[in-house]
Amino acid sequence: MRHRLLVPGAAALSLLLAIPASAADFTPGAPGVGDSYYPESGNGGYDVSHYDLRLKYQPKTDLLEGTATLLATTTQDLSRFNLDFGLKVSEIRVNGKKATYATSGKHELEITPATPLEKGKQISVVVRYAGKPSELKIDNFSAWARTPDGGVVAQEPDSAVWWFPSNDHPTDKATFDISVAVPDGTQAISNGVLTSQSSKLGWTRYNWRSDKPQATYLTTLAIGKFDITTDKTANGLPVLNAVSKDLGANEGAARASIERTAEVTEWLEGVFGPYPFNSVGGYVPNVPAGYALETQTRPFYGKKAFDRGANVSVVVHELAHQWYGDSVSLKDWKDIWVNEGFAAYSQWLWSEKEGEGTAQELADYVYAQHPADDPFWKVKPGDPGADRQFDSAVYDRGALALQALRDKLGDRTFFKILKAWPTEHRYGNASVADFVKFAEQKSGKPLAEFFDTWLFQPSKPAAAATKSTAQRSFRAAQTPVAQPKSWKQIAATHDMHVQPHRH
Ligand SMILES: [Zn+2]
What is the chain's pLDDT, residue by residue, as a tens digit (503 residues)? 333 333 334 444 444 444 545 667 899 999 999 999 999 999 999 999 999 999 999 999 999 999 999 999 999 999 999 999 999 999 999 999 999 999 998 899 999 999 999 999 999 999 999 999 999 999 999 999 999 999 999 999 999 999 999 999 999 999 999 999 999 999 999 999 999 999 999 999 999 999 999 999 999 999 999 999 999 998 899 999 999 999 999 999 999 999 999 999 999 999 999 999 999 999 999 998 989 999 999 999 999 999 999 999 999 999 999 999 999 999 999 999 999 999 999 999 999 999 999 999 999 999 999 999 999 999 999 999 999 999 999 999 999 999 999 999 999 999 999 999 999 999 999 999 999 999 999 999 999 999 999 999 999 998 654 454 444 433 333 333 333 333 333 333 333 443 333 33
- Spatial contact of 453 and 463, defined as CB atoms under 8 Å apart: yes
Centroid of ligand 1 to alpha carbon of 268 (angstroms)? 15
Centroid of ligand 1 to alpha carbon of 106 (angstroms)? 26
Specify the 3-state DSSP secondary structure of 241: strand
Give the span between the Cα atoms of 178 and 160, in whole angstroms: 13
Other CB atoms within 10 A of residue 481 CB: 15
Centroid of ligand 1 to alpha carbon of 341 (angstroms)? 8
Centroid of chain to Cα 333: 11
Give the span between the Cα atoms of 95 and 112, in whole angstroms: 12
Centroid of ligand 1 to alpha carbon of 184 (angstroms)? 34
Centroid of ligand 1 to alpha carbon of 439 (angstroms)? 22
Give the span between the Cα atoms of 244 and 141, in whole angstroms: 24
Query: CB under 8 Å to 24, separation ≥6 — which residues?
Result: none
Sign of the alpha-carbon dihedral angle for 462, 463, 469, 472? negative
Centroid of ligand 1 to alpha carbon of 425 (angstroms)? 19
Centroid of ligand 1 to alpha carbon of 343 (angstroms)? 6
pLDDT at 445: 98
pLDDT at 106: 86
Centroid of ligand 1 to alpha carbon of 243 (angstroms)? 21
pLDDT at 476: 35
| Beta strands 280-284 and 238-244, pairing class | parallel
Centroid of ligand 1 to alpha carbon of 294 (angstroms)? 7
Q: Which domains does the chain have, with CATH numbers?
A: 329-496 (1.10.390.10)
Centroid of ligand 1 to alpha carbon of 337 (angstroms)? 10
Centroid of ligand 1 to alpha carbon of 178 (angstroms)? 24
Centroid of ligand 1 to alpha carbon of 233 (angstroms)? 23
- Spatial contact of 454 and 432, defined as CB atoms under 8 Å apart: no
The torsion angles phi and psi of 264, rounded to 5 degrees, stand at -65, -40
Give the span between the Cα atoms of 285 and 403, in whole angstroms: 34
Residue 431's Cβ-count burial label (10 Å; 0-12, 13-18, 19+) is middle
pLDDT at 23: 67
Other CB atoms within 10 A of residue 20 CB: 9
Give the span between the Cα atoms of 413 and 405, in whole angstroms: 10
Give the span between the Cα atoms of 469 and 473, in whole angstroms: 6
Centroid of ligand 1 to alpha carbon of 320 (angstroms)? 9
pLDDT at 105: 87
Closest-CA residue to 57 (of 190, 157, 195): 190
Residue 452's Cβ-count burial label (10 Å; 0-12, 13-18, 19+) is middle
pTM for the structure as a whole: 0.90
Cα 405 to Cα 10, 275, 290, 298, 365: the distances in Å are: 65, 24, 31, 30, 17
Centroid of ligand 1 to alpha carbon of 316 (angstroms)? 10
Centroid of ligand 1 to alpha carbon of 112 (angstroms)? 38
Give the span between the Cα atoms of 297 and 212, in whole angstroms: 10
- Spatial contact of 26 and 97, defined as CB atoms under 8 Å apart: no
Centroid of ligand 1 to alpha carbon of 321 (angstroms)? 7
Please list all protein residues whose beta carbon sits less than 5 angstroms from ligand 1, which is an ion. 340, 343, 497
Centroid of ligand 1 to alpha carbon of 384 (angstroms)? 15
Centroid of ligand 1 to alpha carbon of 347 (angstroms)? 11
Centroid of ligand 1 to alpha carbon of 323 (angstroms)? 12
Centroid of ligand 1 to alpha carbon of 293 (angstroms)? 7
Residues composing the chain: 503
pLDDT at 324: 98
Centroid of ligand 1 to alpha carbon of 354 (angstroms)? 20
Centroid of ligand 1 to alpha carbon of 340 (angstroms)? 5
Centroid of ligand 1 to alpha carbon of 171 (angstroms)? 18
